Amino acid sequence: MKKITLLTIIIAAVVLFGCQKPKAIVVVPEPVEVTPKGGQFTIDDKTMLCFDNLGAEASGTSKMIRELYEGYFNLRPNLGDAESAKKNSILFSISKKEIKDIGDEGYVLKVKAKRITVEANTTAGLFYGMQTLLQLAGTDKLADSKTFAVPCCQITDYPRFAYRGAHLGSTSSTGTSPMTTVGACKSTATPSSPAWARGVPSAPPGTRCIL
């Protein structure tokens, strides 16, 4: 009788924990599509940071992603290419076939237990995918850990509007330049702009960003 009771408890525990929903994914601003999955990917000092199909003209973007990675996680990345992107790797790649709907600034981020991929049509999309990845790992960053847990999920995001900010004033009426939100700044960002190199997307001429 005791054996039956113990077996019942074990089965109930397995069913209970197995049926728990994946942890909610919080990203600001909220992406177009977020699908939480079970498990997590762990970033550590052995994680490979890989790039594929970026081309020589995109060397500045790969350098910026490396610097963001090193600065945020305080880990020197182990670099590789698509062939190296197997276990414990993060792969940033320009899609060889255009991904529909996401445009030039969208991306598809997939986090699995052994691998993370960020795929986009342009380097702009890879940049925004990197920003989302940093947010996903943000909790452990605050703990000053040497390992960083990223919840498994799939995220698809792209701009919903050309501009996502409002002008609050004009030079003629207030004596200051018009202001805009970071959303509007993002909408005009290009990898070649000076602000882009600093990790801050550019804004239309005559505006200043509220970050």
Q: How are beta strands 89-94 and 115-120 bridged, if at all?
A: parallel
Domains of the chain: 26-157 (3.30.379.10), 171-210 (no CATH)
Mean pLDDT over residues 157-185, rounded? 52
pLDDT tens track for 107-153:
999 999 999 999 999 999 999 999 999 999 975 555 567 899 999 99
Cis preceding-peptide flag for 159 (omega within 30 of 0)? no
Instruction: Return the higher-pLDDT residue of 93 and 195.
Output: 93
Is residue 115 within 8 Å of residue 87, measured between CB atoms?
A: yes
When pLDDT is cut at 50, 70 and 90, the band that residue 16 belongs to is very low
Q: What is the pLDDT of residue 84?
A: 83
Sign for the CA dihedral angle at 195, 127, 189, 61 comes to positive
Q: What are the structure tokens assigned to 93, written together?
A: 């790649």
Cis preceding-peptide flag for 22 (omega within 30 of 0)? no
Instruction: Return the higher-pLDDT residue of 58 and 94.
Output: 94
Mean pLDDT over residues 88-102, rounded? 95
pTM reported for the whole predicted model = 0.69
To the nearest 10°, the Cα dihedral for 119, 123, 124, 128?
50
Q: How far apart are CA 130 and CA 136, in angstroms?
A: 10
- Residue 72 burial by Cβ neighbours in a 10 Å radius (0-12, 13-18, 19+): middle
Q: What is the pLDDT of residue 7?
A: 47
End-to-end CA distance of the chain: 65
Percent of residues, the chain, with pLDDT higher than 90: 50
Eight-class DSSP state of 92: E
Residue recorded with tokens 């691998």: 115
Q: What is the pLDDT of residue 146?
A: 84
pLDDT tens track for 47-79:
999 999 988 778 899 999 999 999 999 999 999
